[in-house]
Structure 1
Amino acid sequence: MAAGPDRDRSDRRTAVRRVLVTALVINLAMSLLKLTVGLISGSLAVIADAMHSATDALSSLTGLITNRLSDPRPDRDHPYGHHKYEGIGALGIAGFILFTALEILLRAGERLLDGLPAIRVTSNELVLLLIALGFNLLLAAYEHDQGRRLNSALLKADAQHAASDVWTTVVILIGMSGALFFDVNWLDVALAIPMALLLIRVCWSVLKRTLPWLVDHIAIAPESIHAEAMQVAGVLNCHDIASRGVLGQQVFIDMHMIVEADDLRTAHRITELVEDRLDQRFGPVRCTIHLEPKDYVEQEITYSGTHG
């Protein structure tokens, strides 16, 4: 029975790695393409976008490393598994997004100080950027879809990073089109600032989703766990309920329980039924249940921190 979930999780990690390898190859290619366009046109904004794509590639590489480390199977040194390495990888991606936003603001400031120098733009550069935009769109959609299918926080964060690259490329295209057709060299700078603020918002979104997991924020409302456990025949009371982890990926539940049983074998069987029910409802779940005598009365079902 235990080998099944472990194999499923191992297969999920392998699938996540395949997606990240695809993302790494595409991001490296797009970074080189944009850098070439930036050097030819002399556009600092395009060079900054190339750097953004380079951080995309770096985030995909970081994702591959953390995915290797995030083996869900426990070992002697990590009895609760290695899931949080994936969360650390998501935080690294958030850092790359923030770096990109600050880089765009810095480049915009430099152009303003330089008096908005003209850039050399032809239709060839626009076509190359449109090709890059198409690949960025496909990659963002692919990673987002696979992140949902595999329930991977790492892929979801990387998809958001890829999506931010789509928006920055759109901004660059508008700015370069303005420079080519209307001789408006300030347009890309004017659009770069709100786009940088958007990237900062994306960074905050990744942090808001990942930090609760890393600091062991509640995963499931204790009232919901209580309601499920009380549906099992033989359970008289459960209280001091705590949970952590990521719902649908891996949740750890601790609780105290009173059961209708006079022998250890029956009591153990009831706790197994509770664990199975919780796993079916919230799984995968790893549950620790502390049995107490029948005459113990506790009305509070939530974790109070006062019981050891």
Structure 2
Amino acid sequence: MEKNIKIVTSIAVVVNTFLAALKIIIGFLFNSMAVLADGIDSATDILTASIVYFATRLSSKPPDKLHPYGHRKIENIGAKIISFIVFYAGISLLIESIKRLVTHNYTLIQGIIPITVTLISVIFKTFLFIIEYRIGKKYNRPSLIAEALNMRNDILLSSIVFFGILLNKIGLSFMDPLVGMIMSVIIVKVAFEIFNENAVALLDGIKKDEEWIYDEIINLCNECEGVKNPHKIRIRKIGECFDIDMDIEVDPKINVQKSHELTLCIKDKIKKLLNDKVYDVVIHVEPYQNVENEPYGIGGKNEK
């Protein structure tokens, strides 16, 4: 797993470095705001790919005394940094594009090299998006998925640049800064998407579409004979895995061994439910009091 991720992130750094240098040079030589903006966007990809590269390595470090829950959230932090970088690039491009459009600082782009460069960019970035997204989804790596989503955005940007240059060359010279403006808005939008995607994990929460896990855990507890009133269920994400804390009640007359067996029953069922994507399950056992609890509360379902 780690070997595949290392290969993908290394390829991303090399390809983005090549594309960034190529587009920035062409953008300056042909005075194209659109191509230059696309090159700057690729330059930010070099940094973001580097962040992903180091984040995936640091996150694989085992837990230690100072980090008992491991280092997997480093990937979420890496994705957050990516969102800020992308946002800054988008705002900077927006300001410059508007300035050129308002001041009429645009000209017709000469030659076929700018169009050729944008086509090369689309091809290479499509390749990167496919491999990054597949590997990220396969191993559930948030920072790699974030980088892939940014790459998907780049494919669209380079495509917009291509048509913008084409329209510029047929006489619509204002299309160059206008395309730069459109690109910057898309970049800012993606920055917010990446930010929101990783905010939940850093807040020790889960996504809305994972809320069903609470109800399923309660149902699983009912399948373990002798378990009563599961409550204070709290779920959070650590990397790609779920960390679960909960309380249950049992007959106060049973011995410790039997109580332990009941917790093992619950843990086994939860692991099967979540396809072994479980970091840990901590179950606190209490004597059954035969008292109705509130259906919901702070800290999860059925808090006592």
> Structure 1 length as normaliser, TM-score?
0.88
Q: Does 1:128 align with 2:117?
A: yes
1:201 has 2:189 as partner: yes
User: Would you say the 8 A contact 1:220–1:244 is kept in 2?
Assistant: no
Conserved 8 A contact 1:73-1:82? yes
Secondary structure (helix, strand or coil) at the match of 1:295 reads: coil
Per the alignment, do residues 253 and 307 of structure 1 end up closer, same or farther by CA in structure 2, a change over 3 Å counting? same
In structure 2, how many angstroms separate the alpha carbons of the residues matched to 1:90 and 1:188?
31
- Letter of the 1:173 counterpart: F
Equivalent residue of 1:204, what SS?
helix
- The higher relative CO (CA closer than 8 Å, separation ≥ 6) is in 2
Q: 1:190 to 1:44 in 2, by over 3 A?
A: closer
Cα deviation, 1:163-212, whole Å, max 9, x if unaligned, reads 121122122212221222x1221012223333322222222221221101
Query: 1:208-223, aligned counterparts within 5 Å?
Result: 208-218=196-206, 220-221=211-212, 222-223=214-215
Asked if the contact 1:16/1:152 (under 8 Å) is kept, the reply is no
2:32–2:176 contact (8 Å) kept in structure 1:
no
Rounded Cα–Cα distance in structure 1 between residues aligned with 2:237 and 2:61: 12
Give unmatched runs, 5+ long, in structure 1. 1-10
Q: TM-score, normalised by structure 2?
A: 0.89
Q: Does 2:157 match 1:168?
A: yes
RMSD: 2.3
**2:222 corresponds to 1:230:** yes
- Report SS of the residue matched to 2:36: helix
Shift of 1:88: 0.6
- Greater shift, 89-98 or 225-234, is seen at 225-234
Alpha-carbon shift at residue 33 of structure 1 (Å)? 1.4
Aligned-pair identity in percent equals 26
Q: Does 1:116 align with 2:109?
A: no
Structure 1 residues 69, 298: closer, same or farther in 2, change over 3 A? farther
| Distance change (3 Å), C-alpha of 1:150 and 1:215 | same
Letter in 1 for 2:287: P
Q: What do the CA deviations read for 1:2-53 (whole angstroms, capped 9, x no partner)? A: xxxxxxxxx3x44322211111111111111112211221213212211110
- The answer for unaligned runs of 5 or more in structure 2 is none
- Within 5 Å, which residues of 2 pair with 1:280-299? 280-282=272-274, 283-285=276-278, 286-295=280-289, 297-299=291-293
Pairs aligned (count) = 295
SS in 2 for 1:292: strand
> 1:274 corresponds to which residue?
266
